[in-house]
């Protein structure tokens, strides 16, 4: 531990007690950090590297700056790299405060952020760097929705670094608008696309896709589904926790019930879609990529695995289900999320407006109170 304190004598010179050889360093995630105490105030800072020798060299420089009195005069943000901030975000915010699947997704989203910005100090990240990141991601064929998710994670990490962790004074997102993309898009399969997709799917992927289309469950919930969450007798799938942090139950269709019965007969472990005696679930990104390749083979454009959830909600609304029932089945916390599908039910709107035709009302009566007095326009 590095300790800086005032001498008990009348001298104004600070005395520095230091442990040599990097013993005041510690690992947080993959990055080395250092703890410093100065005038009773603890300063905890990243050394910005996972390389021990480099970390020791940086630590030695920090100790020299402490002795010279220059270290604590630096502005915040010059000593923390983006990689260190993301590690702190994942360990201290995402993992303890978010659901398991959301935390895993945050780790996935953070990879490109660290790859692009990881070695930059927080104060060095400018809007021009974010703009460059967006351009490069678009050139790689990545959609604005994915870019939005990645940059929102970095923006949130910066906000926490300012308001809670006091690691930096400013955020590069203060005057920068993140591309939103079509975050409220509604993409569902036409009958022709549905037929082409099911014909092109490999046999191992068909049960996963069918369950997604007929339950509205997210991919992460499906591949991590355990047999303890499946009740064949009540025909219910019961999830202890979902993306929004709440438990969720969804009934099975006949197709889903048939699939689960067949899979149960050949199960090897606790996972419905697991493999091996040890029991590991299918890899989410592998399944997602296989689905993307299948859509390409079937000549279905602009359709992701998550769109199967939109397909589920859209078909229910088109068949006359009310929005509150659809929200319950999809596990939407806010009815506003479900309202994006309202325009898919024109027949229901027409049948509702017809209720005004039951009996006379002021709009259908003429001046003398007779329907025949109404003048047609």
Burial 36-48 (b: 16+ CB within 10 A, else e): bbbeeeebebbbb
28-42, 222-236, 260-274, 345-359: least confidently modelled range: 345-359
Q: Summarize the confidence of residues 3-15 as an average pLDDT.
A: 35
Q: What confidence category does residue 244 fall into, taking pLDDT thresholds of 50, 70 and 90? A: low
Q: Summarize the confidence of residues 337-351 as an average pLDDT.
A: 73
Give a three-class secondary structure readout of the chain.
CEEEEECCCCCCCEEEECCCCCCCEEEECCEEEEEEEECCEEEEEECCCCCHHHHHHHHHHHHHHHHHCCHHHCCCCCCCEHHHHHHHHHHHHHHHHCCHHHHHHHHHHHHHHHHHHCCCEHHHCCHHHHHHHHHHHHHCCCCHHHHHHHHHHHHHHHHHHHHCCCCCCCCCCCCCCCCCCCCCCCCCCCHHHHHHHHHHCCCCCHHHHHHHHHHCCCHHHHHCCEHHHEECCCCEEEECCCCCCCCEEEECCHHHHHHHHHHHHCCCCCECCEECCCCEECCHHHHHHHHHHHHHHCCCCCCCCCHHHHHHHHHHHHCCCCHHHHHHHHCCCCHHHHHHHHHHCHHHHHHHHHHHHCCCCHHHCCCCCCHHHCCCC
Q: What confidence category does residue 153 fall into, taking pLDDT thresholds of 50, 70 and 90? A: very high
**What is the pLDDT at residue 155?**
96
Name the CATH superfamily for 191-311: Intergrase catalytic core (1.10.443.10)
58-62, 113-117, 178-182, 322-326: least confidently modelled range: 178-182
**What is the pLDDT at residue 19?**
46
Q: Summarize the confidence of residues 252-256 as an average pLDDT.
A: 95
Render pLDDT for 178-202 as a digit per residue (tens, 0 to 9): 988 665 667 889 999 999 999 999 9
For the cut 50, the answer to whether the pLDDT of residue 6 exceeds it is no
Render pLDDT for 71-81 as a digit per residue (tens, 0 to 9): 665 566 677 89
Q: Please indicate whether the domains covering 82-163 and 191-311 agree at the CATH topology level.
A: no
**What is the pLDDT at residue 146?**
85
Q: Is residue 104 within 8 Å of residue 152, measured between CB atoms?
A: no
3-12, 212-221, 287-296: least confidently modelled range: 3-12
**Can you give the C-alpha Rg of the chain in angstroms?**
29
18-32, 155-169, 232-246, 306-320: least confidently modelled range: 18-32
Domain segments of the chain as ranges: 2-73, 82-163, 191-311
Render pLDDT for 101-148 as a digit per residue (tens, 0 to 9): 788 889 999 999 999 999 999 988 999 999 999 999 988 888 888 899
Distance CA 272, CA 239 (A): 13
11-15, 75-79, 97-101: least confidently modelled range: 11-15
Q: Summarize the confidence of residues 315-319 as an average pLDDT.
A: 88
% of the chain at pLDDT higher than 70: 78
Distance CA 283, CA 102 (A): 15
| Domain topology for 82-163 | DNA polymerase; domain 1 (1.10.150)
Q: Taking all residues of the chain, what is their mean pLDDT, rounded to a whole number?
A: 82
Query: Which one is predicted more confidently, 14 or 21?
Result: 21
Q: Is residue 22 within 8 Å of residue 59, measured between CB atoms?
A: yes
**What is the pLDDT at residue 289?**
93
Distance CA 263, CA 189 (A): 26
């Amino acid at each position: 531990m590095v300790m800086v304190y005032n001498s008990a004598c009348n001298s104004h010179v600070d005395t520095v007690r230091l442990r040599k050889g990097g013993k005041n360093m510690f690992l947080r995630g993959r990055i080395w950090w250092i703890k410093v105490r100065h005038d009773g105030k603890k300063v905890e800072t990243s050394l910005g590297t996972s390389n021990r020798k480099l970390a020791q060299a940086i630590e030695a420089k920090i100790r020299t700056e402490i002795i010279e009195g220059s270290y604590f005069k630096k502005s915040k943000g010059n000593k923390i790299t983006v990689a260190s901030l993301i590690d702190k975000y994942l360990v201290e915010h995402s993992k303890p405060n978010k659901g398991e699947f959301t935390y895993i997704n945050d780790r996935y989203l953070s990879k490109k952020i660290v790859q692009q910005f990881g070695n930059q100090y927080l104060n060095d990240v400018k809007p021009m760097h974010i703009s460059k990141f967006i351009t490069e991601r678009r050139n790689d064929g990545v959609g604005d929705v994915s870019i939005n998710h990645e940059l929102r994670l970095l923006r949130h990490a910066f906000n926490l670094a300012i308001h809670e962790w006091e690691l930096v004074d400013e955020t590069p997102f203060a005057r920068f608008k993140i591309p939103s993309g079509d975050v409220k898009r509604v993409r569902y399969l036409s009958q022709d696309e549905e037929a082409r997709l099911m014909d092109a799917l490999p046999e191992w992927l068909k049960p996963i896709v069918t369950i997604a289309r007929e339950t509205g469950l997210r991919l992460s919930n499906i591949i991590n589904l355990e047999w303890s969450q499946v009740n064949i007798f009540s025909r219910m799938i019961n999830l202890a926790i979902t993306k929004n942090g709440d438990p969720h139950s969804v009934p099975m269709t006949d197709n889903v019930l048939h699939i689960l019965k067949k899979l149960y007969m050949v199960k090897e472990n606790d996972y419905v879609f697991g493999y091996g005696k040890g029991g590991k679930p299918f890899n989410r990104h592998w399944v997602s990529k296989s689905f993307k390749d299948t859509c390409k083979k079937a000549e279905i454009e602009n359709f992701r695995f998550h769109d199967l959830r939109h397909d589920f909600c859209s078909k229910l609304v088109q068949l006359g289900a009310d929005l509150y029932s659809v929200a319950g089945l999809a596990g939407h916390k806010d009815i506003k999320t479900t309202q994006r599908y309202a325009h898919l039910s024109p027949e229901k709107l027409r049948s509702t407006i017809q209720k005004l035709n039951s009996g006379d009302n002021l709009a259908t009566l003429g001046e003398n109170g007779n329907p025949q007095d109404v003048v047609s326009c």
